[in-house]
Amino acid sequence: MAPTFSGQVILVTGSTRGIGRAIAETLVERGATVAVHGRDLDQVKKVCCAIHPDRTIPVAADLSDPETAGHLVESAFRPWGRLDGLVNNAGAGRAVAFRGLKLEDWRATHQLNLESVFVACRGAYPLMRRARSGSIVNIASLAAHGPGRMMGADYAASKAGLISLTRSFALEAARFGIRCNAVSPGMVETDMTEGLTEENIRNLAIPLKRLAKPTDVAKVVAFLLSEEASYLTGQVLHVDGGQFMYG
């Protein structure tokens, strides 16, 4: 049976589309109340109505300013007075050659992909520590484990930093009953991969011979958040169709 989250409140950043929305939908289907996040509040409210108006909390913030992540956590906590889970999914990147990468672009990528996660974890930590429980899942990337062939060095480095942050946080928070893990997706069917042809996909040499669906990632995230993963912390699960086997 799939794990259930009845009575739990979980914040999922970047959850109006793609992987984040699939995570939010999966958690709501399994009984959670989910704080759905995006930059535009009107769009967030539309998504909440589409998912489940009674078991979603619309929250908006532009995480290109990392400090807003702390306010986001508080907005998710306040309505129910609890925060059982946090999924740091919001992030962005683009394919750019190292020689064309500017310092301001490097910093902007790290602010969104890494610094905002640090601030969100910092905000969730005391809330979960008081409850002596909680689970955090950070969405990294296959790019974190190598040279980031499909993305720029800024994206790969920010996601590698996210994995290091995951393990450091997991080590400190474990004694308070808080778990922190990461998921590293490979290529996923989202708007970022819409332009890929069948030939492009074959050339990726994915052993399972297809891109991941957003729900493939969402189900693994739900597992890590659940009691079924109660003895897992500081781990990174690859949802990549077997690509990581190649190193």
In this prediction the pTM is: 0.94
Q: SS3 letters for 179-225?
A: EEEEEEECCECCHHHCCCCHHHHHHCCCCCCCCECHHHHHHHHHHHH
Where along the chain do its domains lie?
Answer: 9-246
pLDDT confidence band for 72 (50 / 70 / 90):
very high
Mean pLDDT, residues 2-7 taken together: 88
pLDDT digits (tens, 9 = 90+) for 82-134: 999 999 999 998 888 889 999 999 999 999 999 999 999 999 999 999 999 99
Q: Which CATH superfamily is domain 9-246 in?
A: NAD(P)-binding Rossmann-like Domain (3.40.50.720)
Asked if residues 23 and 222 have their Cβ atoms less than 8 Å apart, the reply is yes
Is the confidence at residue 148, as pLDDT, over 80? no
Tell me what the pLDDT averaged over the chain comes to. Answer: 93
% of residues, the chain, pLDDT over 90: 77
Angle of the 153-173 helix axis to the 116-131 helix axis, nearest 10: 20
Mean pLDDT of 36-52: 97
Check residue 196 and give its pLDDT: 65
Between residues 34 and 247, the one the model is more confident about: 34
The yes-or-no verdict on residue 190 having pLDDT over 90 is: no
Number of Cβ within 10 Å of residue 215's Cβ equals 16
Please state, in angstroms and as integers, the Cα–Cα distance from residue 166 to each residue in 26, 53, 116, 140, 163, following that order.
23, 32, 13, 10, 5
Query: Per-residue pLDDT for 141 more than 80?
Result: yes
Q: How confident is the model at residue 56 (pLDDT cuts 50, 70, 90)?
A: very high
Residues annotated as catalytic are 155
Report pLDDT for 151. Answer: 83
